[in-house]
Amino acid sequence: MILIIGGAVYFSLKEGTYDITQTRVIAAPPEVIYEQIEDFKEWENWNPWFKDEEIKTTIGIPTQGLDANYSFIESYGNGKITITGLEPNKSISMNRFYDNGITSSNSEVMIVLEQVKDGTLVSWNIKGEQGLLDKAMATVFGFHMEEEITPKYKKGLENLEVIVIKNMKVSSSSVDGIIETGGGYFLYMSSSAKKENFQELKTQMLQNIMSYMQRNKIDMYGMPRVIYEKINPYDGNMIFSAAIPVQNREITATNSNILCSYQEPGKTVKVTLKGAYSNLEEARKKGEEFIDQNGLVRSEEAPYEVYKTDPMLTPNPANYLTEIYLPIQ
């Protein structure tokens, strides 16, 4: 009796509260990371517990949304994780129930996404309270929550980063063949750029044109584009125009750096790219090879790209859609 009472007192005085967090900054938008954490079906790709051959996991139905869950069986016991709260692109809350055959417990698990300068700060946390029997068994079997969970949370976030970055790099391109393009007016700005600062400068120029159009109540009559006036084949530096189609000829101020021009109808080889803009050069080469293989003659008109998706509304670069037009005679 003395031993039982003494043991109860001893274990009751041991710290039983746990609050464990691991963080990692991933160079990706919160929306892209959220796709991987809000659906348990995706957890198979990055969660260490799913990859552990000694743990049997079973995903419930549905796999995402409130009350979505998965259960697991391991050597120490079994448990179930259930989604209890969701804030799209910001956080997911879960309840973790665990039963070791003698006692059971509940923990609160959260994954929080916070947009930061270099991407998204991902915080993975679990907290709860061990009961008397839990503390006794943990001491007897040498089980420590922090030692068990911290390395797996760390590895899980590393795996998550690999999966997210890989998914953002997925791309495909195809030559659609020869098409006739219609003519039309467009507002444009011209500049020269080095290869490394082209994307940033292009974005700024298109934003300037859009602001001009909003101030002057001019409607877009097509998707934004870039016209490549000249590209240096050795270093990739270029002279280009950022342009937005308009319905009618627009008269701009004499001292304005935004001008209006007309694109003549013509024949082009069209290439479609689905993926990040870093794949544009490779996609363009497919079009150039098509021209050479089919004995076509390039026109003196400048090649151009049409951006069918808005990066501000399309978080994952793998979903960008760009059309490349290579004029021919």
pLDDT tens track for 72-105 = 999 888 999 999 999 999 999 999 999 988 888 8
The Cα–Cα gap between 277 and 263 comes to 24
Tell me, what's the pLDDT at 134?
A: 54
Structural contact between residues 243 and 209, judged by C-beta atoms closer than 8 angstroms: yes
Peptide bond connecting 224 to the previous residue in cis, omega within 30 degrees of 0: no
Per-position pLDDT tens, the chain of length 329? 444 444 444 344 445 689 999 999 999 999 999 999 999 999 999 999 999 999 999 999 999 999 999 999 998 889 999 999 999 999 999 999 999 888 888 999 999 999 999 999 999 999 998 654 555 555 544 457 788 899 999 999 999 999 999 999 999 999 999 999 999 999 999 999 998 899 999 999 999 999 999 999 999 999 999 999 998 888 889 999 999 999 999 999 888 999 999 999 999 999 999 999 999 999 999 999 999 999 999 999 999 999 999 998 999 999 999 999 999 99
Q: Do 114 and 93 contact (CB within 8 A), yes or no?
A: no
Beta bridge partners of 79: 72, 98
**285-311: burial string, b at 16+ Cβ within 10 Å, e else:** eebbebbeeeeeeeeebbbbbbbeeeb
pLDDT at 143: 54
The C-alpha atoms of residue 25 and residue 18 are separated, in whole angstroms, by 24
State phi, psi for 27 to the nearest 5 degrees.
-80, 70
CB atoms within 10 A of CB 70: 22
Strand extents, DSSP E, the chain: 17-26, 56-59, 69-73, 78-87, 91-99, 104-116, 119-129, 172-181, 184-193, 225-231, 238-246, 259-263, 266-274, 304-307, 321-328
User: Which H or E element spans position 12?
Assistant: helix 2-13
Task: Count CB atoms within 10 A of the CB of residue 7.
Answer: 13
- First and final CA of the chain: distance in angstroms? 100
Residue type at 99 in one-letter notation: D
- H or E element that contains 210: helix 198-215
Rounded to whole angstroms, the maximal C-alpha distance in the chain is 100
Residues 181, 268 contacting (CB under 8 angstroms) = yes
Q: Identify any residues that bridge with 109 across adjacent strands, giving them in sequence order.
A: 94, 126
Model pTM?
A: 0.82
For the CA atoms of 7, 8, 12, 14, the dihedral, rounded to the nearest 10 degrees, stands at 10
